[in-house]
Amino acid sequence: MKIVILLGAPGSGKGTVAGQLTTADAALRHVSSGDLLRDAVRRGTPAGKEADGYMKAGKLVPDTIIAQMIADLIGGIQDSNTVLLLDGFPRNVAQAETLDGILKKVNSEISSVVLLEVPDAVIVERIAGRRSCPKCGAGYHVKFLPPKQEGICDACGGELVTRKDDNPETVQNRLDVYREQTFPLVEFYGSRVKKVDGLGQVEEVAARVKKVLD
Ligand code: AP5
């Protein structure tokens, strides 16, 4: 198994790029820690109940909750050809150290670390227009990636929603948390980090990411 870490600010396009890459390559698997947590919240699991308040406030949920989910997921992967695109985990240095421990147990390593670079003004516009499908998880943007029919998911016909944490106040908190806790991972991973321009058409950004993957 290979592990690719996708770093980038909230709204930089990590999930969108991962979705584009997995559509084109069956060996790639997209794992979004945010999606795992939102699913737990929806199902009302004990972890989801604990995570809900942190997510609404734009704070990181306790490391142990998300680390356990990632450990279970990685431990359950049987196919050694799988390439995991980890989007949203690790989110701080403690989680990065935990990930190293998880990977050691399954004899795997991080093959690439990609940092998507997008200016703040673009981030704000991307998050303001984001819509997602709660049924199948597909992501859209009212201006940049609109569905064929307004408010309806192209893939499954579900009704598109705005994420609860995409309001201006929570977004500001998420950006602050990113700068304080997640950005230091760029130093942690050092020369392994490949910086990729996150501006342009989704297909262009995905092609740039693909080019830097080891
Ligand atoms: P999470 O779900 O991980 O949110 P995030 O990091 O804030 O990232 P986003 O999902 O907002 O952005 P993205 O980069 O995937 O952008 P997207 O592709 O959607 O985390 C949410 C919360 O969960 C956290 O606040 C925290 O509470 C908790 N959490 C998660 N992981 C955790 C962890 N490890 N530890 C502790 N807590 C954790 O794109 C955004 C928009 O832009 C979309 O509308 C898209 O269509 C559009 N777009 C994308 N690319 C382009 C492009 N090239 N051109 C035009 N538009 C584009």
- Look at residue 214 in the predicted model and tell me its pLDDT: 80
Q: Where are the domains of the chain?
A: 2-118+180-213, 119-166
Q: Which atom of ligand 1 is nearest to the CA of 200?
A: 53
Q: The domain at 2-118+180-213 falls in which architecture? A: 3-Layer(aba) Sandwich (3.40)
The CA distances from residue 138 to 63, 95, 119, 180, in Å, are 26, 27, 24, 29
Q: What is the pLDDT of residues 116-172, one digit of tens each?
A: 999 999 999 999 999 999 888 899 999 999 999 999 999 999 999 999 899 989 999
Query: What amino acid positions are annotated as catalytic residues?
Result: 14, 91, 130, 163, 174
Cα torsion at 197, 34, 160, 196 (round to 10°)? 10
188 lines ligand 1 (CB under 6 A): no
Smallest CA-to-CA distance from 172 within 111, 114, 123 is with 123
19 lines ligand 1 (CB under 6 A): no
The pLDDT mean for the chain works out to 95
